[in-house]
Structure 1
Amino acid sequence: MRTCTWILLALFIVTSASDLFAAAEVHAYRVGKVVTMDGDDRVINNAIVIVTDGKITAVGRSRDVEVPPGATVIEKPQLWLVPGMVECHNHTGGSSPDLHDYIYLTNPGLRTLEAIVPDGVEMERARAGGVTTVLTIPGSGNNMSGFGTILKTAGTGSVEEAVLKAPGSLKIAQAGNPERYFYGVGRSFMNFNTRQTLRKAMEYHKAMTAWEQGELAEEPPKDLHWEEFRALFRRETVASVHTQIYQVLMTTVKMVAGEFGIRTVLDHSTFDAWKVARLVNEDQSIYTINGPRQLHFDRTQRRIMGNAARWWQGGVRQLGINTDSPVVPQEELFYQASMACYYGWTPYEALKGVTRIPAEALMMDHRLGSITVGLDADFCLWTGDPIDPRSSCEMTIIDGHVTYDANGKRVF
């Protein structure tokens, strides 16, 4: 009787395992070239990528990778497979009017999560342009407009399905647009007010940390204004800083990254901001995401310069590109990278600057930004090098599902 029981149990386990294997959704993409953007910067010709249940499970030469039995094979030998592009500065992933509540000069209690629209027409256009992930942040009409949300552009009807991380970053704007705030403010007051807001948030974080570590007898009162700042001071999320000319960018590096120890993403970083390259290079946790302006006429040298090229010449390697969508349409992220190359940057680094680098900047490179085993199956099939404006995105895959197919409905 006991032997019979063990036999039945073994049969049940084997049957269950085979059912699970059969239920796995497996796709094999056989393509002409894979630009992996992985740690070894591999470019593989005549390649194949295996996707199982939304994750990348194998990458290599077609002759070296065995296609699992029952897998759906997609034959695209004329196309390039590249990681889905990641946008660090987006305002089109939510209801636009709701992203711009400039009530006070700093609004620490606001966030974009409640305004996310995951299936809007702008997300469809993003997919058609090869963009699979965006950081949707508030605008820059004041110095601190709230927390942003990292979401995929797959077009699902559910916010929960679309959102990868919330909060995804804190939006800070240190000059430019905030100077027009109501009565008009100058940089001295803006820096004072931003600093005092961050100090209040840090004091709250330190008090809560002390209580959690048993150093305080009573729990401090919970304050939702400051609660989401705690991830910033634990360096688990980043500050996205609207910062441009070199004087303002110096303040960003010294205050946000230096004084408060916050992981910082330098958004825009245009005009003559590249002059601060040496200071930026002293903190390897800082990422520079340039754009949407890709050129600057330097009056001191009396010539036009490429912004990304000057950052690169200054030794900055953690360099990417943004569109500030809808300032430049989200689907033109690749074209902004093309413009950066036209003005002196290099194509491979530019492609990295819209894939792996922004994924690293947002601390999401464990999920996105490269064709690596274990990462989300977010990638696109292009007719050629995406940095070449003649190329087009023919298919976009997000979490292993085809979310755009130009053969069915071409957007561009």
Structure 2
Amino acid sequence: MLCIKNGMIHDMVSREAYEGDILIDEGKIIEIGTGIDVMEGTELYDASGKDLYPGFVEAHCHLGVSGYGIGFEGQDHNEMNDICTPHLRGIDSFNPMDPSVYMAARAGVTCVGTGPGSSNVLGGTFMAVKTTGKRVDSMVVKDPVAMKCAFGENPKRCYRDKNNFARMSTAAKLREMLLKALDYRERIEAAGDDLLKRPAYDMKLEALLPVLDGSIPLKAHAHQANDILTAIRIAKEFKVRMTLEHCTEGHLIADELAEENYPCAVGPTLTHATKFELQNKTFDTPKILSEAGCMVSIITDSPVIPQQYLPLCAGLAVKAGMDPYEALKAITINPARHLGIEDRVGSLECGKDADIVVYQGSPLDYSSSVELVLIDGRIIH
């Protein structure tokens, strides 16, 4: 049992912080209050003059599947031999021993949504995972959390000499796979218990059934405004759930996105505009979308921006005019909701995982420092 005493608690439930204690047992927060009485033998940590935040959460990255350093061997986030690979699972590429995982943890990034990249129209499933451990199976918070799909330049570029030269082709391929999955499901249902009438097992189509029944959303990589709206068009056409990833030109259609009410993960913004579709990149985007009423998460898209700079990206959004509380929500409770794991992480509440970051100052101020990081109640930094 551990009690963090006298800290300024930013619980991401209330806008205003308050001074108090947090009592932790068996990896969970069991009490939050002032002057908590503790049992004999309870470990105490005096956080007087320090600020307590939930562990930071990223809604979209490739941590652990895109290795630290340069070279083919560590890059396991894109399968380049097939444009539609919904049957692939990010968990099977994740390397807990990659140095970038611990770098994230010691910076207070305690949980991430990670998985396949955006080369393919359908890339496979994302998972939510903690950033400490030796075996991914014991690090997983939820698997799967989403099915990755991609629009725009990446599928065009990666398969331009094969079978995908235009945005029309990308949209058509996604529709084709969803239509095949619908047909596959109907044939299974029509066959009932008669195994002889069931369609031949198809691993790709099986992987899309959770998307069709609403168990997981499509996780739609889209930068340009027209690609974002194409993703929405297809999601509505097939009546499936969806989250919007990157949203680089989201500020140009903020009113449309607020009306549609899809979760928006914005970034990576702290980079050059390395592609045509990034020409309108700006740190104004999180502010504009948030003020329009969208649920905004800020992302690094690690390794595009190193995972440990997630709080820095939130700070730069504040510098561009974003409300500081909304910026903190964008790296805590909003990404937790984006991933569907808000019952476990993203805020400091009784019953949730004891993922806590103790700061000397604010994470939005990069001159501040991390004093302590807990994941599942264990001090890891």
Q: Is TM > 0.5 for Structure 1 vs Structure 2?
A: yes
- Aligned-partner Cα distance in 2 for 1:395–1:206: 53
- Amino acid corresponding to residue 288 of structure 1 in structure 2: C
Letter in 2 for 1:359: A
Matched, 1:44 2:18: yes
Unaligned runs of 5+ in 2: 68-73, 274-279
* Secondary structure of the corresponding residue to residue 347 of structure 2: coil
CA contact (8 A) 1:296 1:304 kept: no
Question: Does 1:196 pair with 2:176?
Answer: yes
The residue number in structure 2 matching 1:289 is 265
How far apart are residue 88 of structure 1 and its match? 1.5
Aligned residue in 1 for 2:2: 27
Structure 1 pair 199–279 and aligned structure 2 pair: CA distance change class (3 A):
farther
Superposed, 1:302-321 pairs within 5 Å as 306-316=284-294, 318-321=295-298
Distance 2:281 2:27 in 1: 48
- What is the aligned-residue identity percentage? 29
Distance of 2:224 and 2:240 partners within structure 1: 21
Distance, in Å, in 2 between the alignment partners of 1:41 and 1:206 is 48
Please state how far the C-alpha of 1:150 moved relative to its aligned partner: 1.6
Q: Distance in 2 between matches of 1:48 and 1:303?
A: 41
2:70 equivalent in structure 1 = none
| Residues 1:107 and 1:225: Cα distance change in structure 2 (over 3 Å) | same
Return closer, same or farther for 1:180/1:58 CA change in 2, 3 Å cut-off. Answer: same
Equivalence map 1:176-215=2 (5 Å): 176-182=153-159, 183=161, 185-208=165-188
Larger Rg: 1
Task: Give the distance between the partners of 2:39 and 2:191, measured in 1 at CA.
Answer: 53
Note the 1:102-141 alignment, pairs <5 A: 102-141=80-119
| Partner Cα separation in structure 1 for residue 97 and residue 353 of structure 2 | 20
Match of 1:166, SS state, is strand
Match of 1:235 in 2: 214
Tell me which moved more, 157-166 or 203-212: 203-212
1:354 aligns with 2:331: yes
State the one-letter code of the partner of 2:100.
Answer: E
Farther off after superposition, 223-232 or 136-145 = 223-232
Q: For residues 101 and 377 of structure 1, do their structure 2 counterparts lie closer, same or farther at Cα, with a shift above 3 Å needed?
A: same
Quick one: distance in 2 between partners of 1:234 and 1:113? 22
TM-score by length of 1: 0.82
State the 1:305 CA deviation. Answer: 6.7
Q: Is the 8 A contact 2:359 2:371 kept in 1?
A: yes
Asked whether the 8 Å contact 2:251–2:284 carries over to 1, the reply is: no
Equivalent residue pairs, number: 365
Go from structure 1 to structure 2 and tell me whether the alpha carbon gap of 1:110 and 1:366 turns closer, same or farther (over 3 Å shift): same
Quick one: structure 1 residues 305 and 296, their matched pair in 2 at CA, closer, same or farther if it must change by over 3 Å? farther
Match of 1:57 among 30, 33, 40: 30
Going from structure 1 to structure 2, the CA distance change for 1:304 and 1:74 (only over 3 Å counts) comes to closer
Could you tell me whether the CA contact under 8 Å between 1:93 and 1:134 is conserved in 2?
Answer: no
Change beyond 3 A, Cα 1:211–1:119 = farther
CA contact (8 A) 1:294 1:307 kept: no
Higher relative contact order (CA 8 A, sep 6+): 2
Match of 1:259 in 2: 237
C-alpha spacing 1:225/1:395, structure 2 compared with 1 (3 Å):
same
Q: TM-score, normalised by structure 2?
A: 0.89
Deviation of 1:71 after TM superposition, in Å, equals: 1.4
d(CA) in 2 for partners of 1:225 and 1:202? 12
Contact 2:129-2:139 within 8 A present in 1 as well: yes
Unaligned runs of 5+ in 1: 1-25, 405-412
* Distance in 1 (alpha carbons) for counterparts of 2:16 and 2:190: 46
Cα 1:305–1:338, aligned 2, differ >3 Å: closer, same or farther? Answer: closer
